[in-house]
Amino acid sequence: MKINASRLMKTLSFLLCTLPCFAAGLSPGEHKLLYVAEPGIRDYLEYGGHGLLVFDIDHGHKFLRRIATAGLDEKGKPLNVKGVCANAISKRIYISTTRTILCLDLLTDKLLWEKAYDGGCDRLALSPDGKTIYAPSLEGDHWNVVDAMTGAALEKIVRNSGAHNTIYGLDGAHVYLAGLKSPTLTVMDARTHEVASTVGPFGNVIRPFTINGSQTLCFVNVNGLLGFEVGDLRTGKFLHRVEIPGGKPGTEKRHGCPSHGIGLTPDNNELWLTDAANSELHIFDATAMPPKLIDHVPLRDQPGWVTFGIDGRFAYPSTGDVVEVKTRKIVAELTDEEARAVQSEKLLEIDFEGTQPVQVGDQFGLGRK
């Protein structure tokens, strides 16, 4: 019997690519998976250890597997994870630590490269075409523009703002830069890497923020505020300050900011806000302006972040609670293979058709319509 070498190689290649999927107990078809980067609460290993944890959204957020990752210091201790992003076209997922960026293959789970950058790294952002990364230095004076395929640093954008949170617009036209030392949001032209405009100033320095689907409004956390502020991305003007009525900031475990975490449901209809000291989420009607408080969700611990699944069915605060958006009920709690309560501020959904990634979510809770 003759063996077709070309067909054999294609079959072997397919089996190698499908191995992670089959090993996780997934059958061919559509799969919604949640990827959680650890340690995603500072460098604390008690909230899920070290690695990239994968959960099956379709089956009660069951733990599937742990992907080994690098990102270690000289003594072999895992570095803080600062951000996570992915792309279905390039089939890659990226994790930033305080020093490096790691690039992994979504088909094989293998590490493709890990590179260090001048000034360290913070919460990175990836272009929709999967080609360009904006990597903030670690609360430094600049952002590095990075080739997402090779990891090569292409150029440096100096803003002297304490580089920190970074959002790539879903249309790929603009990148939004916020620093821990500035009350002003910078809007970059993603094609020229030049400053297109600024928004603000806001009431204090900007912490987490999010953008609506039409990229006309930004919603920002600022230091000292249990609540959020709103800015107009078209005019650059500050619009509104929204405080939790009768809210008591209390004492936060970390971040030094009463509300460190804000996200829009993908349909832009609701805005969800973290409240650390009171261990809850506040929900606002975002179809009103300014948004109106409508509900609260108590959580198992202090939240420092919130994002959403791609279709908006589930909200993911950093506490590891899984909240069904429609009912506002906690329907699952993330736990790892050792039954530890998993927590992370760096997570996103990736949808697969068989073994192929077809759609990715985001770590920021962006409006998507």
Report pLDDT digits (tens) over 195-207.
999 999 999 999 9
Whether 369 is covered by a domain: the verdict is: no
Whether 189 is covered by a domain: the verdict is: yes
Q: Write the CB contacts of 323 (distance below 8 Å, at least 6 apart in sequence).
A: 281, 297, 314, 315, 316, 317, 329, 330, 331
Q: Tell me, what's the pLDDT at 14?
A: 39
Is the pLDDT assigned to residue 7 strictly greater than 80? Answer: no
CATH for 55:
2.130.10.10
Q: pTM for the full model?
A: 0.93
3-state secondary structure of 268: coil
Is the pLDDT assigned to residue 22 strictly greater than 80? Answer: no
Whether 200 is covered by a domain: the verdict is: yes
How many domains does the chain contain in total?
1
Of the pLDDT bands very low, low, confident and very high (cuts 50, 70, 90), residue 8 is: very low
Backbone torsions φ then ψ of 65, nearest 5 degrees: -165, 165
pLDDT tens readout for residues 133-190: 999 999 999 999 999 999 999 999 999 999 999 999 999 999 999 999 999 999 999 9
Whether 368 is covered by a domain: the verdict is: no
Question: Dihedral, CA atoms, 336, 342, 346, 352, nearest 10 degrees?
Answer: 40
Whether 103 is covered by a domain: the verdict is: yes
Of the pLDDT bands very low, low, confident and very high (cuts 50, 70, 90), residue 321 is: very high
Whether 90 is covered by a domain: the verdict is: yes
Angle ∠(328,332,334) on CA atoms, nearest 5: 125
User: Tokens standing for 100?
Assistant: 């490096």
Q: Are 137 and 124 in contact (CB under 8 A)?
A: no
Look up the domain containing 273 and give its range.
5-360
pLDDT tens readout for residues 248-293: 778 999 999 999 999 999 999 999 999 999 999 999 999 999 999 9
Whether 367 is covered by a domain: the verdict is: no
Q: Write the CB contacts of 357 (distance below 8 Å, at least 6 apart in sequence).
A: 86, 88, 91, 106, 107, 350, 351
Whether 162 is covered by a domain: the verdict is: yes
Name the average pLDDT for the chain: 93
Q: Tell me, what's the pLDDT at 250?
A: 81
Of the pLDDT bands very low, low, confident and very high (cuts 50, 70, 90), residue 369 is: confident
Determine what percent of the chain is predicted with pLDDT higher than 90. 90
Q: State the Cα–Cα distance between residues 302 and 9, nearest whole angstrom.
A: 51
Of the pLDDT bands very low, low, confident and very high (cuts 50, 70, 90), residue 4 is: low
Of the pLDDT bands very low, low, confident and very high (cuts 50, 70, 90), residue 222 is: very high
